[in-house]
Chains A and B, each alone.
Chain A
Amino acid sequence: MELLRPDSAEAAAAALGNGSVALAGGTELVPLLRDGIVRAEKLVELRDVVPRGVDGTRIGAGTTLAELEVDPDIPQALREACSLAASPQLRSMSTLGGNLLQATRCWYWRLNFPCYLHGGDTCHAKAGQHREHAIFGNERCASAHPSDPAAALLALGARLRTTSREFSLVDLYRLPTDEERNVTALEPGEVILELDVPRPEASVYLKAMERRKWSFAIVGVAAARFADSIRLGLAGVAPIPWALSSVADLEQATPLLGTAYKVQIARALVRRAVEAVSAPAGA
C-alpha cells in the first residue's frame, strides 16, 4: 500500500478512485482494510486538506466528533448526537465527514457474508439474527445505518459542499437497489468538504442504546423545530438515516419479527423529542 498526502482537497479528489481510497480519521477504514472488506492500493490522506472547525453555520467535514460535542455554537441535536456517538477515543479520531459515510454495523455485512449489500442476492439478517436491524426501507436489505450525527443533520436540514457540488444531506443517501448497492451517492473522486447546518429554534437528539455509553443506536431520534415545523431524523432504523415527517409515519414501519420492539421505542422517543423541541404553550 502507498500513502498519498495531497496538498489540496482538489488534488485529493483527483487522486481518488482506481484503487485509491480516502483516509480521514481512519476509525472505519483501517478495520475494514484489515478485514478485506475494503481493498486499497493507495490511501489518500485528507487530514490536512479538508476544512476543520466551525464557522457560523458552516462545519468543516474534517472536524472531529469530539470537537463538535463541546462546541456551544452548533445546534443542540448535533452536539448531543456527537456526544452520544461511539466511544471517546473514536470521537477524538473520527471526522464528521467520515461519520456520514460509515457503513452499517450489520454483523453479516461486517463478517463479510455474501449479503445483498455486498452484492449478493439475500439479506442474511432477515432469516437470521436481526434484533439490531431496520424497521423502515428493509425490503431488500435489513441493515441499520448507525450514524447519530446523520440523523441530527437530517432533522436540521443540513446541506453538503463537496469538491464538485452542493446538495442536501437527504440526497447523500439512497436505499440499496439491484443496480447499486452502495447506500451513499458520493461520486468517485468527490470529497465532502463542509456542511451548512441551519440554526433551528430548538433541537434535541435522543438515543436508545444497549448500554449507557459506547453503543450504536437501537433507535436514535433527532428533532429540530424551525418556526412551526418540526423535522425528524432517525438513526438505527433503516439502511440509511431516515427522515420522518411526523409521528404518524411510524405507523408505516415494516418491522421484522425481531425488530418490532424498535417501533415501540421509536414511538416513545419521537413523542419525547417532539415535546422537547415544541414551543412552550402560549408562546
Chain B
Amino acid sequence: MARLIKTEKEVEGRYSEQWVVVEEDALEQWPEGPLRTVGRPATRVDGLARARGEARYTQDIQLPGMLHAAVLRSPHARARVKQIDLTPASELAGVRGAVGPGELDVLTDEPNYEGEAVAAVVADTADHARAALEEISIEWEVLEPLLDVDQALARESFLSDPKLYERGDIERGFAEADVVVEAEYRTQSVLHNALETHQTICEWEGETVNVYTSTQWLWGVRDEVAAAFDLPKDKVRVICRFMGGGFGAKGSAGDYTMIAAELARRTGRPVHCRLDRREENVNSGNRNPTIQKLRLGARSDGILTALSADYVCLLGWDGWLPPTAGPVQMLYACDNVRTVEYGVRLNSPPMDAFRAPGFVEGTFGLECALDELAAKLDLDPLELRRRNHADHDPLDERPFSGKQLMECYRRAEPHWERRHEVHARADGPWKHGVGIATQLWYGGGGPPSYAWVRLAGDGTATVLTAMQDIGTGTRTAMAQIAAEELGLPVERVTVELGDTAHGPYAVVSGGSSTTPSMGPAVRAAAGDVARQIREIAAQRFDVEERVLSLAEGKVINADGGSWLLEEITGLLEDGQILGKGARGPNPAGMRVMTYGIQVAEVAVDVETGEVVVERIYAVHDIGRVINPLGAESQIEGGIIQAIGHSLSEQRLLDPRSGKVLTRTLDAYKLPTIADVPEIVSELVDVPDAHLTNLGSKGLGEPPIVPTAAAIANAIRDATGADVRSLPITREEMLGALHEADERRRVPERVGAAPA
C-alpha cells in the first residue's frame, strides 16, 4: 500500500524534509555474503559497447539538420556590456541565429566571473559558429574584480550567512585539554575534467523538446528546462544513455542546455552546444578552495575535549556552502565542538559539487591535525582514532544505521604496521613513511526513486528506470539485483536507462546515492514480477504458491521438481509480466553514513621535493557490496583522483584579471597511469541491517575522502615536515621541509602548549 510520509532527504550533506509516497518495503534483506549474482564480480553489461567505440555519447549524436552553437563568454572577471551588436555575426554565411543578453536568462550583460555567458550564435558547423563569435561587436566597461579573500572577508562578501555550529562548551573543552594543537590548512580549487565535456543537443518536436545531454540527473534537467521554457514537465524529454563522466559537475542543466534549447526553438532545427576543454575548465564548476583554522584539544589519554574550526570557503560568484565542517562535527565523539563556515563570494567561476564536496577538504584538515595531535601526545595515530570512535551520531545522539569503522581499523592494522619496514627503505635523499586517515561520508540515498521490470515470454527481463550510469557501473549493478531476485543469470537481464520517456523517476547520480536509492527500487520491482510468476505458476501447475521459488532460470517447487521459467512466461506469448518497485524510506531516527580508513605509503626526495605515493591500502564500509569488481574500480578511481588533488592538480587564477590560467590539460595536471601506486582495497561487506531491502550504501565518493590526509600524514612520518596545503607541490614540500629544519634548529620549549 502506498504510504505518505514526511522524510528527511539528504544529498551530499544537504538535508531537506519532504513529502514522499513510498511503498512498503515488503522484501526482507538477503542474507549476508555473496549470493548467486549479487556480491559476486560482474563485468560491465555495457563494457563491450564502450570498449568497441560503439556507445553513443551525447558528443557522438548527429541528428539530421543539426546546427552547432558557440557561446560568447565574458573575457573579464567583472564587467558591463556597454554596447553589443550581434548583427555582424548573424549576417555571416553559415550562421543561422544569434541570441544575446536580455533574450535568455542564462545570458548576462553584467558578467561577474570570467566565462559567464553573454551571447551565443548558431551555425552550420562548429567552426562557423566559433568564427562568428569573433564578429560580434561588443564594447566592455571593465570593472575591478573582487578576487582577494581578505578583502572579501572585510567586506563580508558572502553567498549566504556564515554557518555557526556549537555543541557543549568549547572554552571548557580547551580548559580540560592537556594538549592543544592549532594549525591552518589550505586546499586548492580542483577541476572536474570529465573527459566528455558538458554538452547538450536540443530538438523540438511540436510542443515537446528532446534534450540529449551529458548529465548526472535527467530529471533535474527536465525540471529546469520545463521551468525556463514554461512547459509541462513531461513535454521535456531528457536522454543520456552513455555519459562520459561527471564527478559532481553535471547535476544541473547549465547555460549550454538553455542556449541549445532556445536556438533550436528559433531555428526549428536540432542544435548542439558543446563546451570545449577550456570552457569546461573555466565555466563548468570546480571544487572550491578552503582556508581552515583548526584547534584541537585532548586529554593526555587522547580523548578529544574540544574541536574548533573556522572554514573560509572561496565559492566564487555562485554555488552553495558544502559541508566542510562535517568531519569535525561528526567523525569523532567529542562533547565540545564549535565550527564556523564562511561562503565567500568572489568574482571567480562558481563552485559545483565535486565528489564528496566539503568532506574531502574538511577531512584533509581534521585528519592532518589529528596526526599532529597524536605526535604531541606521543600516541599511536590509529589508537587515537579508536579512542575517539563515535558510537552514535555526535550531532544529535542518533544511532548509526550501521557502522563498521572499528572493523575497518582492525583490518587496516597490519598495513599500518608495515611502517617499520617502510622506514627502513630510506636511501640517500629518499625518505619513506606511512600515514593513515579515516573516512566519513553520507551515501545512504533515499526516496523517491522508482523502477519497473518487464519479463518477456522468452524469459528475459528488462529493467526500466530513467536513471543514469555516469560510468560508475550502476547499469550493471541494477542488472545483478534484478537477476538475483528473479533467479536469472545476469545475461538475461537488460537495463534500459537514460531516457525520461522510457521509465519512471530516478534519483540524481550524486552523493553516492544511485545504488542505495535505485537498487532497492529495482529489487522491489523484480520482486513484484517474481511474486506474479509464483502466482501464475501456482495456478498453472496447481501447487501452493508458498512452496515456489525462483532460481537458475527455473521455478522450483520445494517438494522437488522445477519448471523452466519459459514454461510459465511462454504461456503469455508476447504478453509480459510487469512489476513496479519504489524505494522505501530511510530508517527513522537513524543516521546513515559510510566509513573507512586508508593507509598511504610515500617516498619523499628531500632534496628536490618529489613525492611518490607508493602504496595505498583502502578499506571501506558501505554495507552490502553488489559488484566487487566494479566496487574495486570505484575505489581505485577515487584514490587516483585524490592523488591528483594531493600532488599535482590546482586551478590557478591570475590574481589581477581573475582569469583561469590552467585551463588546458598540459597546464592542469591530471594523474597519468605512471602516477598510480599499488592500490590494495577491500570492503567490509556487511549489509546495513536497517537500510532498505538491500543494506547497500553508495561507494562513488567515500574512497576520495581520506587519501590526501593519509598522504600528508605519511609525508610527516617520512620527513617530520608538516604539509598543510594542497596540492603538495615541490615548493610546498620543500617549504615544509625547510620549516621542519628550522624547528629542529630552534627546539620547542619542553612541555605541551598552553591550553
Contact = CB atoms under 8 A, between A and B. Distances in A.
A and B touch in the complex (CB under 8 A): yes
Interface of A: 105, 107-108, 110-111, 124, 127-129, 131, 208, 210-216, 218, 258, 260-261, 264-265, 268-269
B671 interface: yes
Nearest to B652: A129
A212 B675 CA distance: 6
Contacts of A216: 666
B664 A268 contact: no
**Closest 5 interchain pairs by CB?**
A268-B607, A261-B731, A107-B661, A213-B674, A212-B674
Given A111-B659, A218-B730, A268 B429 contact: yes
Nearest to A258: B731
A167 to B, nearest CB: 30
B729 interface: yes
Interface string B669-693: 1011111000000000000000000
Counting chain A CB atoms within 10 Å of each CB, the highest count among B654, B662, B664, B669 belongs to: B654
A108 to B, nearest CB: 7
B241 to A, nearest CB: 29
Contact of A215 (B652, B669, B735): B669
30 contacts: A105-B667, A107-B661, A107-B662, A108-B654, A110-B667, A111-B663, A124-B656, A127-B656, A128-B654, A128-B656, A129-B655, A208-B608, A210-B647, A210-B648, A211-B669, A211-B672, A211-B674, A212-B675, A213-B673, A214-B672, A214-B674, A216-B666, A258-B731, A261-B609, A261-B730, A261-B734, A264-B734, A265-B730, A265-B734, A268-B429
B179 to A, nearest CB: 33
Q: Which among B610, B647, B656 has the greatest number of chain A C-beta atoms within 10 A?
A: B610
Contacts of A261: 609, 730-731, 734-735
A129 B654 contact: yes
A210 B669 CA distance: 8
Contacts of B662: 107
B734 A108 contact: no
A268 B667 contact: no
A129 B647 contact: no
A131 B648 CA distance: 13
Interface in B697-755: 729-731, 734-735
B609 A265 contact: yes
B21 to A, nearest CB: 50
Nearest to A146: B666
Nearest to A214: B672
Contacts of A265: 607-609, 730, 734
A208 B659 CA distance: 27
B735 A111 contact: no
A105 B665 CA distance: 12
A206 B124 CA distance: 49
Contacts of B666: 105, 216
Given A129-B654, A131-B729, 9 more contacts: A107-B662, A108-B654, A127-B655, A129-B655, A208-B608, A212-B612, A214-B672, A216-B666, A264-B607
A108 B661 contact: yes
Contact of B730 (A124, A129, A208): A208
A265 B659 CA distance: 29
B608 A268 contact: yes
A110 to B, nearest CB: 7
A214 B648 CA distance: 12
Contacts of A214: 672, 674
Nearest to B731: A261
A189 B656 CA distance: 40
B573 to A, nearest CB: 55
Interface residues of B, number: 32
B646 to A, nearest CB: 11
A208 B675 CA distance: 14
B378 to A, nearest CB: 32
Contact of A208 (B610, B647, B656): B610
Interface of B: 429, 605, 607-610, 612, 647-648, 652-656, 659, 661-664, 666-667, 669, 671-675, 729-731, 734-735
Nearest to A219: B608
Contacts of B675: 211-213
Given A105-B667, A110-B664, A261-B609, A131 B654 contact: no
Nearest to B661: A107
Contacts of A108: 654, 661
B569 to A, nearest CB: 51
Contacts of B661: 107-108, 111, 128-129
A121 to B, nearest CB: 15
Contacts of B669: 210-211, 215
Contacts of A258: 731
B735 to A, nearest CB: 7
B667 to A, nearest CB: 6
Contacts of A211: 647-648, 669, 671-672, 674-675
B484 to A, nearest CB: 42
A264 B738 CA distance: 11
Contacts of B667: 105, 107, 110
Contacts of A105: 666-667
Contact of B672 (A213, A264, A269): A213
Contacts of A213: 672-675
A210 B609 CA distance: 10
Contacts of A124: 654, 656
Contacts of A131: 652, 729, 731
Nearest to A87: B672
A131 B647 CA distance: 15
Centre residue among A107, A128, A215 by max chain B CB count within 10 A: A107
Contacts of A212: 612, 672, 674-675
Best-surrounded residue of B429, B647, B730, B735 (most CB of chain A within 10 A): B730
A261 B732 CA distance: 9
B729 A210 contact: yes
B732 to A, nearest CB: 9
Contacts of B655: 127-129
Contacts of B671: 211
A269 B608 contact: yes
A99 to B, nearest CB: 15
Nearest to A268: B607
A237 B675 CA distance: 24
Contacts of B659: 111
B231 to A, nearest CB: 38
A251 to B, nearest CB: 17
A260 B735 CA distance: 10
Contacts of A210: 647-648, 669, 729-730
A211 B727 CA distance: 12
Contacts of B605: 268
Contacts of A127: 655-656
Nearest to B134: A36
Most buried by B among A213, A258, A264: A264
A105 B648 CA distance: 17
A241 to B, nearest CB: 19
A204 to B, nearest CB: 15
A25 to B, nearest CB: 16
Nearest to A129: B652
A37 to B, nearest CB: 13
A180 B49 CA distance: 54
Nearest to A132: B667
A116 to B, nearest CB: 15
A89 to B, nearest CB: 12
Nearest to A127: B656
A265 B607 CA distance: 7
A199 B608 CA distance: 29
Contacts of B610: 208
A105 to B, nearest CB: 7
B7 to A, nearest CB: 45
Contacts of A128: 654-656, 661
A154 to B, nearest CB: 21
Nearest to A36: B134
A128 B672 CA distance: 28
Nearest to B673: A213
